[in-house]
Structures are given as structure tokens and as C-alpha cells.
Chains A and B, each alone.
Chain A
């Protein structure tokens, strides 16, 4: 079984401030972890993914995430928010074996608002 919890359904930051979106996961097998972004009226776009290589993963648009096995976390960060970062962000886990193999389980999503 696998699950994802995103802490905070809404996060608001000022332009230029640090962005931190929290994600904790549960998985009975070593996981693959993903962050996707969804802009209004669009599908999901992959930001970055962890697939058991380096624990610090760099993605598009200046985002990065760190896999911490001891904390079962995969938080998403960006040093300086831009107005164009306003969107909804989804964390997802996929199992690497067993019944969860290849199945993405998503968190509830976090809506990021960026103020001028």
C-alpha cells in the first residue's frame, strides 16, 4: 500500500520569497517520487522525479526536492518565487514492486499563490 500526504492545501508567498511545499509518503516498497504542477485548465506537467539515484533532485523552473528516507519526506523548494509559479502542485508516489508497481498515487494537491 502507498499513500501521499501534502501538508497545507494552500500556501501563499511573496514574489522573491522561498517556496516550500511539503510532501510525506508511505510505501511498503522503495518508492519513486514525483512532483507535478497543474496550471488552470491544463493537464499535469512533470517538475521533477526521484528514482533512487541522487537524493537531491533538480527539476524545471528552478525547483528542487530532497528525498529523506528517515523522514519519509520529499519536500519541494524554490529559493525565489516568481509570479508565474502560481499553480497547483501535486506530489505522487509510485511503487517499484509488488501491487503498487507502476501505479501513481497522488496527494491532495497544494495551491501556491504568489503575491507581488
Chain B
């Protein structure tokens, strides 16, 4: 595998389910990001991790819980989501915080 990978690519869940999104980067980068892409809205930065430490939480509801066990892996744990949380969730990584970000293919989430 090369670049940034995300699993699953598609996820359908009910509002009471608990699920997790996984992101893995094979670029040797130190920073990782979660973005939300909704229809007709700009990409929204959700979380930033740098050397496994969270450096940014962009006022994200607590039903989204990130986890970064090491610089190569990033998770987004989901619980009691709302239908308006349906979106494409994109992961990205960069060498450092000011460096170019490289994106994964995204997970298309549908909340019923």
C-alpha cells in the first residue's frame, strides 16, 4: 500500500450504532488530519494530530472521538450519530503542520 488509505470506503449505520473509521499513512509523515465533506459545504477541518498529540479540535461534537495511537494510524470513533453527520470523511497527512497535505480516498458515511 502506498499513500494514505482509509477503511471502510462506505459505511451505513443507525443512530444508535458505534463504528470506527480507520486511516493509515505510508508516507512517514508526522501530522494527520480528519476532514468532513458535506454536500454544498466547504471541507471542514475536524481534528489535527502532530506526533500523536492532538493540536486542533475544531469544535467537533463529542459523538466524534479521534484516536491516534502512532504517527501512521488515525481513527475516528463514531457513536450516536445524527442523519446530518452523513458525509464523506477524509483523512490527510503531512510531513509537518505547514507542509503539503496528502489525502486518502475517504469514507462515505450514511447515518439512517
Contacts and interface: CB of A to CB of B under 8 A. Distances in A.
A108 B102 CA distance: 19
Contacts of B103: 36, 43-45
Nearest to B33: A104
Contacts of B41: 108
B90 A101 contact: no
How would you classify the secondary structure of chain A's contact residues: helix, strand, loop or mixed? Answer: strand
B48 A106 contact: no
Interface residues of A, number: 23
Size category, B interface = 20 to 34
A62 interface: no
B2 interface: no
Interface in B60-112: 90, 92, 94, 96-98, 100-106, 108
Contacts, number: 48
B110 to A, nearest CB: 14
B6 to A, nearest CB: 8
Contact of B106 (A43, A94, A96, A106): A43
B53 interface: no
A102 interface: yes
Nearest to B58: A103
A112 B90 CA distance: 21
A96 B98 contact: yes
A108 B101 CA distance: 18
Q: Select the residue from A32, A43, A45, A96 with max chain B CB neighbours within 10 A.
A: A43
Contact of A102 (B4, B48, B105, B108): B48
A32 B90 CA distance: 21
B101 to A, nearest CB: 6
A73 B26 CA distance: 34
27 contacts: A4-B42, A34-B100, A41-B108, A42-B105, A42-B106, A43-B4, A43-B6, A43-B90, A43-B104, A44-B90, A45-B103, A46-B100, A46-B102, A49-B100, A90-B43, A96-B98, A101-B98, A102-B31, A102-B94, A102-B96, A102-B98, A103-B45, A103-B48, A103-B56, A104-B101, A105-B42, A107-B42
